[in-house]
Amino acid sequence: MIYFDNAATTLKKPDTVAKAVFDAINNFGNASRGNYKSALNSERIILETREKITELFNGYGPNYVAFASNATEALNTAIKGIINNYNDAHIITTSIEHNSVLRPLYEIEKLGAEITIINADEKGQINYNDIEKSIKNNTKAFICTHASNVTGDILDIYFIGNICSKHNILFILDASQTAGHIQIDMKKSNIDIVCFTGHKSLFGPQGTGGLCIKKSIYINPLKTGGSGIKTYSKTQPENMPARLEAGTLNSHSIAGLNASLDFIKNETYEKIIGHEKKLTNTFYEGIKDIENIKLYGNNFHYNKTPIIALNIGNIDSAKISDILSNEYDIATRSGGHCAPLMHESLGTVNQGIVRFSFSYFNTIAEIEKGIDALKDISKRFS
Global pTM reads: 0.95
User: What distance in Å separates the CA atoms of residue 153 and residue 36, rounded to the nearest whole number?
Assistant: 48
Please state the separation of Cα 172 from the chain's center in Å.
12
On whether the CB atoms of residues 153 and 306 are closer than 8 A, the answer is no
According to the model, what pLDDT value does residue 235 have? Answer: 82
User: What distance in Å separates the CA atoms of residue 317 and residue 319, rounded to the nearest whole number?
Assistant: 5
According to the model, what pLDDT value does residue 302 have? Answer: 64
On whether the CB atoms of residues 43 and 31 are closer than 8 A, the answer is yes
Cβ atoms within 10 A of the Cβ of 34, count?
Answer: 14
According to the model, what pLDDT value does residue 363 have? Answer: 98
According to the model, what pLDDT value does residue 249 have? Answer: 92
Taking 70 as the pLDDT cut, the residues of the chain under it are 32, 34, 36, 229, 300-302
User: What distance in Å separates the CA atoms of residue 236 and residue 229, rounded to the nearest whole number?
Assistant: 9
On whether the CB atoms of residues 207 and 250 are closer than 8 A, the answer is yes
